[in-house]
Structure 1
Amino acid sequence: MQRLIVALLAALDAAIAAAVGLALVLAPFTLLWVLAFGLDADWGALWPVSATLWQLGHGVPLEVVLPDALLSSLAIPKEAARFALSVPPLALLLFTLLFAARSGRRAAVAGRWISGVTGGVVAFAILTAGVAVSGGSDVLRATPWVAVVVPVGVYTVGALAGAVGHAWTEGDDGPIDRLRDLIDGWGEWAAVPGETVRGAAVVTVAMAGASAVGIAAMTVLRGGEVVALFEAAHVDALGAVMLTLAHLAYLPTLVVWAASWLAGPGFALGSGTSVSPAGTELGVVPGIPILGLVPENSSIWMLVSVLVPIACGAVAGWMVRSRLVWEDTARGYGPRAAIAAGIAASSSGIAALAALLASGSIGPGRLAEAGPAVGPFALAIGVEVLIGAGILLLAPRHRDELAEERTDRWNEEMAGLTAPID
């Protein structure tokens, strides 16, 4: 397919991704404007608020500046009139990331992934710049260049991941194939890069799943506290719907917090606070319903939760080990140790990035510190995953394992030879 056509289709994908993301923010706020404000609504404020919150959803930190009239009517102290809001609802970021990965993969299938990724990123950058220029707000303020660079960075990472992932697996008759040819010359070490990425992906998915299960369990155990906070908010049906939608948008952010809790370091809900398996020290918690899931106390026995990241590393090690035996490669301890270390280092890097995105400020004063600490979370994940993956990858291969894998491979080859031809 011609490069221009691929680039134009990728640009269309980028436009759809931006439009759908903005619509996800605009739709509930439009409903709020209609039902809450009616004919007296200030429709000129709808787009700036929605655009700025879309930027927040992609990791752009905001500065909240409350007007004097609001400070007087709500008796808010002047020192709380200006604060940072930098913990984003990661649902929007994940949507853009996955949509970009799909677009990048489609460009790779067409055989022109470089043109496709370039076209998509350029189109998304133009649209993001348009949002930044037209969506300025006096109450919610974003640094202009950050409001462009960060969302574009998210889209670029997704598009490259989708394109390079497909090109690595299926080939691209271009730079990825040349890189693979170079790596194939490493002998037994040739399996290290690919299996490292595969293992890190397994760890990421497994940790996200385990963290989501943990949140579901806390919802069952502490659902009453969440309901009580909803009732204490004294909101009507529309307000309850808006709160619920906000909670859903922040669900991936809470998954990162839960992962940090399972790994051991935990997270903060204000300066000087800590929520971890080893102990919980909380001050006054904001009356946000979903924060009712936060445990009020901990026990040293809860440190058994660190077995979860170790188990995730073990699952990744087992899956990679099975592939290595199947392909009869990386027989020495050196390549397998390198794969285990690579999985741990990659998982640690992903954890650091997730913690960086899911932490920051959620309000004035002591609420300027919330979420997991980047360094401790990344270090804990790296060490725990290394233990789990290392145990499975460095265990000696036994004869029964080799014989079973070779028998399975022989059966698959025979099935392919005897399969009927249409």
Structure 2
Amino acid sequence: MAGVIEMTARRRSQSPLLTRLRDRSPELVDALVGGAVAAALGLASLAVLVLLLWISSPYPDSGPGGAMHVAAALWLLAHGAELVRTDTLSGVPTPVGVPPLLLLALPVWLLHRAARDTTDGGPGDGDAGFVEEAGAVEVVPGPPPVSARTAWTGVVLGYVAVASLAALYAAGGPLRPSWVWAGVCVPLVAVVAAGTGVWSAYGRPGGPLRPLLGVLPAWVRPLVVGRDGRPGVATRAVAAGLAVLLGGGALLVAVSLVGHGATAQGALLRLTEGWSGRAAVLLLCAALLPNAAVWGAAYALGPGFALGAGHVVSPLSSAPAPFLPPFPLLAAVPGAGEGRLVHWVAGVVPMAAGVVVGRVVAQGAAAGESGGTRPGGGRGAVWSPWRTARAAGLAAVLCAAVLTGLAALSGGPLGVAVLARFGPVWWQVGAAALAWMVLVAVPTALGVRAWRCRTPGADGAAMGRQRERRPEGDAHQNGRPRKRSRLGRGGSGRTEATGTGGGLRSGGSRNPKGAGAAAGGASTSGRGTAQRTSDPRPEEPYAPFAPHVPIAPHVSFGQDDLYGHRGQDDAEFEPYDFLPADPSPESYGFRPSPGDAAPGRDGP
């Protein structure tokens, strides 16, 4: 055995890490390509717009290369990165840090779509297919979705790689990016937008958010994100409050522009000449409309905004603005001086936002009251006043935090010295928003909750009384006769009816429908009530589950009851109603024997 030589060489198995990388390399490459394509599309869109404006300009200052440098710089500015202008009259570089918020929507949307499509494996790749062979249809499942971590990492890395090349290219132009701001803002936008895209591709589950929400207290988590992954009560209230605040701010700007329409038109005509230059100014105003909405919201809250260092515009007072070039949006700024009553009306906007936030919280606190029940909850699932107040306070804090971020993002410097600050002061806006929301939203939530809990109480009590009276029953329901079926002794059916047009009792006289009845009975006149014949036996308890043997088939034309069912309490139509109820035996040609019982009677 010592001379035996092993001729079979065993291949060493690959490490699990290499196998995993080899399996995921196509997915990672697709994610990288998706992120790079999203960045390229955003750059190309701005480049086409800038080139069109450069071509249509009657006095271009530079060639197409300069226009491409400006497009790359504007694309970085849209992410929040601050730019530095080098070609100034004084030779001192000046910062440009007011990002048009409308331009940010395009990169965010492209990143979201790229991450979502990459996670799904491309449009249609993740769907199941059908293969038909020999008349049989076989369902072929599609490929599983790409790993969330792989898709998110690839899209972010691909986007940041293209952004780095764009920053290097823009550094050679008149508007150079600040490397610190570019290194922070662009990856942050990519991380957030790509994360939302991957989360959307997986059906917006609540699992990935739990680690992020783990730092929050236990009572806060269900208010932010529900158990099913949908937004919680506080999140919905924040969205509604922000919509009212920003919509109100935009409305204030629009009303002021209409009031100062002549000034805005004059600024547009003096700023540039030719339709191409005016079109460029109008496009810039459209890109700055979200900024104007945030500034209007800050004005309505009270702190206002700054038009230069030390020049604050607020409802209480407006400092005289420094010398600024004419711009159409600046025409909406109120004149210098003390605030008047027309300026104080702007306080309606935060008050309305607080009322909306409180109402949304109250709807979640008493969701099963005054409007039906929700799936999985009943009328008893009502929050306590303390929990409702905490939810409204949390919504106020989150609303103030989001508005603080928007205020910080919507402003920035446009130069040095006096032009070092434009826009609202973020911490003042946050403090004012928190004060407004707490003072208005919390009392509103408590008041609406108390009202929703009180109103259905009376309705429920009335409904309960109706349900208690319903089993007993009355002779008449809505002016119609009520018929009951009972089973007497001996198993024979016994029916009785009271109401207009005659009554029916086995063993008694029956009133026919109409004048001149064939058989005997009490006659009726007009719409009078038929006379009831007395029953020699006492009333027996009603047995609702007793077998019922109808004398003749009938069809019910009654109305629905309280629960939507049709009962036998209303008037019924019997096709054999023209026959007498207790026909005389002589009319049929025979005479019963003395021992026979009459039809419908229990005995002689």
TM-score for both structures, normalised by structure 2: 0.58
Find the aligned partners of 1:303 and 1:130 in 2 and give their Cα distance: 49
1:155 aligned partner, one-letter code: A
User: Is 2:68 the partner of 1:34?
Assistant: no
Shift in Å at residue 334 of structure 1? Answer: 3.0
The letter for the 2-side match of 1:171 is P
TM-fit CA distance, 1:112:
4.5
Shift of 1:18: 2.2
Amino acid at match of 1:255: A
**Among 163, 171, 183, the residue aligned to 2:205:** 171
Alpha-carbon offset, residue 349 of structure 1:
1.1
Q: Which amino acid aligns with 1:344?
A: A
- For residue 88 of structure 1, report the CA deviation from its aligned partner: 1.0
Q: Which amino acid aligns with 2:262?
A: G
CA distance in 2, matches of 1:63, 1:152: 20
Determine if the alignment matches structure 1 residue 296 to structure 2 residue 330: no
Indicate the larger mover: 344-353 or 116-125. 116-125
Over 3 Å counting, the alpha-carbon distance change for 1:8 and 1:310 in structure 2 is: farther
In the other structure, the counterpart of 2:394 is 342
Contact 1:100/1:156 (8 A) holds in 2: no
Decide whether the 8 Å contact of 1:355 with 1:374 is kept in 2.
yes
Candidates 438, 449, 458, aligned match of 1:386: 438
2:192 match:
157
- In structure 2, the CA distance between the partners of 1:144 and 1:345, relative to structure 1 (3 Å rule), is same
Opposite residue 55 of structure 1, the aligned amino acid is L
**1:338 Cα deviation from its structure 2 partner:** 2.1
1:217 aligns with 2:255: yes
**Maintained 8 Å contact 1:362/1:369:** yes
Cα displacement (A) at 1:378: 0.7
Take 1:240 and 1:18, find their aligned partners in 2: how far apart are those partners?
A: 29
- Paired residues of 1:261 and 1:275 also in contact (CA < 8 A): yes
One-letter code aligned to 2:349: V
Native 8 Å contact 1:261 1:276 kept in 2: yes
Higher mean displacement: 296-305 or 218-227: 296-305
1:141 is paired with a residue whose SS is: strand
Q: 1:401 Cα shift?
A: 4.8
Aligned to 2:325: 286
* CA deviation string 1:44-77 (max 9, x = no partner): 322222111211121111111116xxx3xxxxxx
1:63 paired to 2:77: no
Q: Are the counterparts in 1 of residues 244 and 349 from structure 2 also a CA contact under 8 Å?
A: no
Q: Would you say the 8 A contact 1:262–1:309 is kept in 2?
A: yes
Q: Which runs of 5+ in 2 are unaligned?
A: 1-22, 121-144, 225-231, 368-376, 464-562, 565-604
Q: Which secondary structure does the structure 2 equivalent of 1:398 belong to?
A: helix
**What is the CA–CA distance in structure 1 between the aligned matches of 2:220 and 2:93, rounded to whole Å?**
54
Which amino acid is 1:87 matched to?
V
CA-CA distance at 1:20 after TM superposition: 3.4
For 1:248, the equivalent position in structure 2 comes to 286
Secondary structure of residue in 1 paired with 2:85: strand
In the other structure, the counterpart of 1:233 is 271
TM-score if structure 1 supplies the norm length?
0.81
Q: Secondary structure of 1:272's partner?
A: coil
- Distance in 1 (CA, whole Å) between partners of 2:240 and 2:114 is 22
Q: What residue number does 1:398 align with? A: 453
Residue 116 of structure 1 deviates from its aligned partner by 3.1
351-360 vs 112-121, greater mean Cα deviation: 112-121
CA distance in 2, matches of 1:17, 1:212: 30
Secondary structure class of the residue paired with 1:282: coil
Which residue type is aligned with residue 192 of structure 1? L
- For the 8 Å contact 2:361–2:388, the answer to whether it is kept is no
Cα separation, partners in 2 of 1:166 and 1:40, compared to 1, 3 Å: closer
The match for 1:51 is: 72
SS class of match (2:387): helix
1:354 partner letter: L
2:57 aligned counterpart, secondary structure: helix
1:90 aligns to 2:101 (yes or no): yes
Deviates more, 1:33-42 or 1:216-225: 33-42
The match for 1:133 is: 168
Higher relative contact order (CA 8 A, sep 6+): 1
Letter in 2 for 1:289: P
Tell me the CA shift for residue 89 of structure 1.
0.9
Q: Distance in 2 between matches of 1:324 and 1:39?
A: 61
| CA offsets 1:135-156 (integer angstroms, 9 cap, x no match) | 2134212223432431221232
> Which secondary structure does the structure 2 equivalent of 1:268 belong to?
strand
User: Structure 1 unaligned runs (5+)?
Assistant: 72-77, 408-413, 416-422
Deviation at 1:249, TM superposition (A): 1.2
CA displacement at 1:16 relative to structure 2? 4.4
Find the partner of 2:302 among 258, 264, 268. 264
Cα shift at 1:165: 7.1
Q: Is the Cα contact below 8 Å between 1:325 and 1:402 reproduced in 2?
A: no
Amino acid paired to 1:359: G
Equivalence map 1:17-28=2 (5 Å): 17-28=38-49
Moved more, 132-141 or 3-12: 3-12
The alignment yields a C-alpha RMSD, in angstroms, of 3.4
Aligned equivalents of 2:268, 2:402: Cα separation in 1: 34
Structure 1 stretch displaced more, 189-198 or 377-386: 189-198
> How far is the alpha carbon of 1:92 from its aligned partner?
1.4
How many percent identity over aligned positions? 26
Please identify which structure carries the higher helix content: 1
Aligned length: 392
Alignment CA distance shift 1:177-1:271 (3 Å): closer
The residue type paired with residue 100 of structure 2 is P
Q: How big is the shift at 1:308?
A: 1.2
Please give the per-residue CA displacement for 1:295-314, whole angstroms capped at 9, x wherever unaligned: 21462422332231231122
